[in-house]
A and B are shown apart, each in its own frame.
Chain A
Amino acid sequence: MDTLLSSEGDSQRTQYPYVTGTSVIGIKYKDGILMAADMGGSYGSTIRYKSIERLKQVGKHTLLGASGEISDYQEILKYLDELILHDNMWDDGNSLGPKEVHNYLTRVMYNRRNKFDPLWNSLILGGVKNGQKYLGSVSMIGVHFEDDHVATGFGNHLARPILREEWRDDLTFEEGVKLLEKCMRNLLYRDRSAVNKVQIAKITEEGMTISQPYSLKTYWDFAAFKNPTVGAEGSW
């Protein structure tokens, strides 16, 4: 009777996230798409893992960036591996592009939320196929859209205002990377879950590359960083 009354009595589902990754950001640039994410994995508010890859290639034309529950992300990768495998098995020259993968994931996410068993992630999909650049995002409940620049989580608050100011259609690769690093640095300063170990990925018509992990240059010697409570009357 107890189990009948308590709705979560014998739940087998991830109803809340355990290990999570924080923001991912993605932008279109002159030749394709750029994405950036750090490598931290938070267990609650403890930064428990520090080399989790959150940017992955999906098929030939698509790049996936994920934030949120890491094991759910791994589950999504499993679905995508199967999807791409079956697509390749046709062996007919057709292949799923970023748009198709984005739509597929939207269906998966929305379907799971309808079962009250959501995959606890925000995803970003980017790619280039037949000269068409594509960049979009899906949330854990299946909300999806396309844009010239996208971000998840804190990135929506801290990175996108910068992108709205500074993003251009004709950014070069170097300018794009610089812009993403500026966003990631801001996130590093202000998002407690962010870590200073990031990866940047590039995808163009020619193919894709994911950078080795590296650290951003930071400057912590601002007076307010050194002694945050100066001038804050009454605080300790």
Chain B
Amino acid sequence: MFRNQYDTDVTTWSPQGRLFQVEYAMEAVKQGSAAIGLRSKTHVVLACVNKSNSELSSHQRKIFKVDDHIGVAIAGLTADGRVLSRYMRSECINYGYTYESPLPVGRLVVQLADKAQVCTQRSWKRPYGVGLLVAGLDESGAHLYYNCPSGNYFEYQAFAIGSRSQAAKTYLERKFEKFTSSSRDDLIKDALFAIRETLQGEKLTSSVCTVSVVGVEEPFTILDQATVQALINEFEISAEEAPANEAAAEPAGGDAGGAAAEEPAPMDI
């Protein structure tokens, strides 16, 4: 017997008005290791968890510099993410060539979303299996967007995607109101704390995460491992009392991630 008649291609509607293939693509984002982003008025920080497939291999890069003023963090199919970041890079270069000025972040995000949308409406295509957190700076300030395989995009103050991202989201939701006025260094600190939430017990070290920043007077940069480790060490000292109450919130956050079954259709997210 057929489990589901309506999920064999992207363009077929279910009688409930859903597109299952698109929803499956959204699921691929949740399988990938976590990526988080948060922003203040002047800076955006992206961070991600690095997972290697085997003891013998290194991990895949999940954060890419697109241009001096834009960077992305991805969760899901890394291969798709690379293709999309290459597209974004070339859009930025072309805009820079024509107008000698940086491409506004919001416009790049719309172009990216339109590209993803096309894949949800063509029988011979497949949706991208990747979620992108796009961080950027333009005339109107610092921005953080989330682009998903369905072709939807959203602007956020702070967001987390990927596996166990619910724990990070809970952390960010608790703190986001102060982010607007945060310093660059405080954003990085919160990024590391949020990343730690997704690790569930595993120790946070510079080898399991990547951190990047873009901001006023600061082109997009991925912090090197030594810098990140120094920051972790620095925070760990003062953080010993902080994790105590965060640890209390952790199981709750973990549960919320597990009890996500009753969430709205994934396309809405």
**Which residues of B (83-102) have their CB < 8 Å from a CB of A?**
97-101
A100 touches B99 (CB 8 A): yes
A130 touches B104 (CB 8 A): no
Q: Kindly report which residue of chain B lies nearest to residue A129, judged by CB atoms.
A: B139
Smallest Cβ distance from A58 to chain B, in angstroms? 13
A100 touches B140 (CB 8 A): no
A94 touches B99 (CB 8 A): no
What CA separation (Å) do A90 and B104 show in the bound complex?
11
| Binary per-residue interface labels of chain A (8-32) against chain B in the complex, 1 for a CB within 8 Å, 0 otherwise | 0000000000000000000000000
Q: Which residues of B contact A100 (CB under 8 A)?
A: 99-101
B100 touches A92 (CB 8 A): no
Q: Would you call A107 an interface residue if the criterion is a C-beta within 8 Å of the partner chain's C-beta atoms?
A: yes
Q: Would you call B107 an interface residue if the criterion is a C-beta within 8 Å of the partner chain's C-beta atoms?
A: yes
Task: Tell whether A103 pairs with B104 under 8 Å between CB atoms, given A93-B140, A94-B138.
Answer: no
B101 touches A99 (CB 8 A): yes
What CA separation (Å) do A96 and B100 show in the bound complex?
11
Q: Which residues of A contact B139 (CB under 8 A)?
A: 94, 130
| Binary per-residue interface labels of chain B (132-150) against chain A in the complex, 1 for a CB within 8 Å, 0 otherwise | 0000001110000000000
Q: Would you call B106 an interface residue if the criterion is a C-beta within 8 Å of the partner chain's C-beta atoms?
A: yes
Q: Which residues of B contact A92 (CB under 8 A)?
A: 104, 106-107
Q: Kindly report which residue of chain A lies nearest to residue B106, judged by CB atoms.
A: A92
A93, A103, A130: the one within 8 Å of B99 (CB) = A103
What CA separation (Å) do A130 and B99 show in the bound complex?
17
What CA separation (Å) do A92 and B110 show in the bound complex?
11
Q: Kindly report which residue of chain A lies nearest to residue B103, judged by CB atoms.
A: A94
A104 touches B106 (CB 8 A): no
Smallest Cβ distance from A95 to chain B, in angstroms? 9
State the interface size on chain B (CB cutoff 8 A): 12
Q: Which residues of A contact B100 (CB under 8 A)?
A: 99-100, 103
Q: Kindly report which residue of chain B lies nearest to residue A93, judged by CB atoms.
A: B140
What CA separation (Å) do A99 and B139 show in the bound complex?
14
Smallest Cβ distance from B75 to chain A, in angstroms? 26
What CA separation (Å) do A107 and B98 show in the bound complex?
7
**Which residues of A (129-156) have their CB < 8 Å from a CB of B?**
130
Smallest Cβ distance from A207 to chain B, in angstroms? 19
What CA separation (Å) do A103 and B107 show in the bound complex?
19
B98, B110, B138: the one within 8 Å of A103 (CB) = B98
What CA separation (Å) do A92 and B105 show in the bound complex?
11
Q: Which residues of B contact A103 (CB under 8 A)?
A: 98-101
B99 touches A96 (CB 8 A): yes
| Binary per-residue interface labels of chain A (65-108) against chain B in the complex, 1 for a CB within 8 Å, 0 otherwise | 00000000000000000000000001011101101100110010
A94 touches B97 (CB 8 A): no
Smallest Cβ distance from B112 to chain A, in angstroms? 14
What CA separation (Å) do A61 and B99 show in the bound complex?
15
What CA separation (Å) do A100 and B138 show in the bound complex?
15
Task: Tell whether A107 pairs with B106 under 8 Å between CB atoms, given A94-B138, A130-B139.
Answer: no
Which of B99, B101, B138, B139 has the most C-beta atoms of chain A within 10 angstroms of its own C-beta? Answer: B99
What CA separation (Å) do A107 and B99 show in the bound complex?
9
What CA separation (Å) do A130 and B100 show in the bound complex?
16
Smallest Cβ distance from A101 to chain B, in angstroms? 8
What CA separation (Å) do A99 and B99 show in the bound complex?
7
B101 touches A94 (CB 8 A): no
Q: Which residues of B contact A90 (CB under 8 A)?
A: 106-107, 110
Q: Which residues of A contact B99 (CB under 8 A)?
A: 96, 99-100, 103-104
Smallest Cβ distance from B65 to chain A, in angstroms? 22
Q: Which residues of B contact A93 (CB under 8 A)?
A: 140
What CA separation (Å) do A20 and B139 show in the bound complex?
39
B104 touches A94 (CB 8 A): yes
What CA separation (Å) do A93 and B99 show in the bound complex?
17
Nearest 5 pairs of A and B residues by beta carbon? A100-B99, A103-B100, A94-B104, A92-B106, A103-B99
Provide a sorted-by-A list of 28 A–B residue pairs whose CB atoms are within 8 angstroms: A90-B107, A90-B110, A92-B104, A92-B106, A92-B107, A93-B140, A94-B104, A94-B106, A94-B107, A94-B138, A94-B139, A94-B140, A96-B99, A99-B99, A99-B100, A99-B101, A100-B99, A100-B100, A100-B101, A103-B98, A103-B99, A103-B100, A103-B101, A104-B98, A104-B99, A107-B97, A107-B98, A130-B139
A interface, CB within 8 angstroms of B = 90, 92-94, 96-97, 99-100, 103-104, 107, 130
B interface, CB within 8 angstroms of A = 97-101, 104, 106-107, 110, 138-140
Additional A-B contacts beyond A90-B106, A94-B106, A99-B99 (18; CB < 8 A): A90-B107, A92-B104, A92-B106, A92-B107, A93-B140, A94-B104, A97-B101, A99-B100, A99-B101, A100-B99, A100-B100, A100-B101, A103-B98, A103-B99, A103-B100, A104-B98, A104-B99, A107-B97
